[in-house]
Amino acid sequence: MRSILFSLCGVAILISGTSFQPKDDWTPLLDKSLSKWEIYQSFHHKLGYKGEAPKDENGNLIKPIGYNINQDKVFSVIEENGEPVLHIDGDIYGCLFTRQDFGNYDLKLKIKWGDKKYVPRVNEPKDSGVLYHSQGECGVEYWRTWMLSQEFQVTEAGMGDYWSQASSRSDVKAVKKGKDYFFDNNGTLLAFGSGTGNGNFCHAGTDAENKNGWNDLELITYGDKSIRIVNGQVVMALSNSRYMVNGQAKPLVGGKIQIQSEAAEVFYKDIKIKPISGIPAEYAGYFK
């Protein structure tokens, strides 16, 4: 069983960045065989889902599809201009997740939307997400699909939004507009996540999405801090990444990377990662 708690020795190795070398080079994470990823699929979620375990027409619990079963070929790799492109059909809730744990890194990837949408989000914006510092088993959050993690939201008009998954928490400088919170580097540092009193969601500071074509996403994370960049614009900075165990906060500073299948067709490419030795100087001001 994938344990949420990992040893101090393992953390030290992970944080040092020695798990992927050479240090100054980008490592591609996408190939035609998805050799660096595993799969999890949960359910065809239906309208009216309220977080309860899905049941069939006879009231019996439906088992999740499970690990490394690519039902309906939701996840596939196509070729575009000689390069691999990840195609996620989206009709089943699920994810790809890296075989390897990562900490202290710069992650870059490109994303564009397909045309398809599925129940229960046919009338909602297209949705996906990059979940990082992922720990433990899949299926532990509201949708019974993903690992405990921090979510870099990928959605129409909301790329870079923050979602807490399971018991994760993070601090964001934010301002409140109506009922919602938005990242603002001049705002008040607030905690987000279940039990914080501020909810488990915060909007990005700006909508930097390219509505027609590929978008460049970048996640820079070092220690308990992270920066989210969409098409060259910083849209959010987060600090004090943690998760809760029996009321106690534990650091959440490394783990697997997940890419969501969430009722929308989406494409990803140029997924690459490299270790870093600190938050780059040009972003240090977001944490003062």
* Chain segment 186-216, per-residue pLDDT in tens: 999 999 999 999 999 999 999 999 999 999 9
Cα separation, 101 vs 225, whole angstroms: 17
Query: How many Cβ atoms are within 10 Å of 132's Cβ, its own excluded?
Result: 24
Q: State the pLDDT confidence band at 5, using cuts at 50, 70 and 90.
A: very low
Cα separation, 250 vs 169, whole angstroms: 10
Measure the N-to-C terminal CA separation of the chain; round to a whole number of Å. 39
Residue 50 lies in a domain: no
Residue 240 lies in a domain: yes
- For the chain, what is the radius of gyration of the CA atoms? 18
Cα separation, 80 vs 97, whole angstroms: 23
**Do residues 121 and 262 make contact, with C-beta atoms less than 8 angstroms apart?**
yes
Residue 235's Cα: distance from chain center in Å? 15
Whole-Å CA distances, 92 to 50, 66, 117, 261: 17, 12, 11, 7
Residue 130 lies in a domain: yes
What CATH number should be reported for the domain holding residue 23? 2.60.120.560
Query: How many Cβ atoms are within 10 Å of 67's Cβ, its own excluded?
Result: 13
Exposed (0-12), middle (13-18) or buried (19+): which is 172, by Cβ within 10 Å? buried
Mean pLDDT for the chain overall: 93
Structure tokens given for 113: 């939307």
Domain total of the chain:
1
Residue 138 lies in a domain: yes
Cα separation, 170 vs 252, whole angstroms: 9
Q: Please give the model's pTM, rounded to 2 decimal places.
A: 0.92
Structure tokens given for 144: 């019974």
**Do residues 224 and 207 make contact, with C-beta atoms less than 8 angstroms apart?**
no
pLDDT digits (tens, 9 = 90+) for 72-91: 999 999 999 999 999 999 99
Q: Tell me, what's the pLDDT at 253?
A: 98
Residue 190 lies in a domain: yes
The answer on pLDDT for 4 being more than 90 is: no
Per the structure, the complete domain to which residue 198 belongs is given by 8-45+55-287
Q: Tell me, what's the pLDDT at 22?
A: 47
pLDDT digits (tens, 9 = 90+) for 8-63: 344 443 444 444 444 559 999 999 999 999 999 999 999 999 999 999 999 999 99
**Do residues 29 and 272 make contact, with C-beta atoms less than 8 angstroms apart?**
yes
Average pLDDT of span 94-113 = 98
Residue 1 lies in a domain: no
Residue 162 lies in a domain: yes
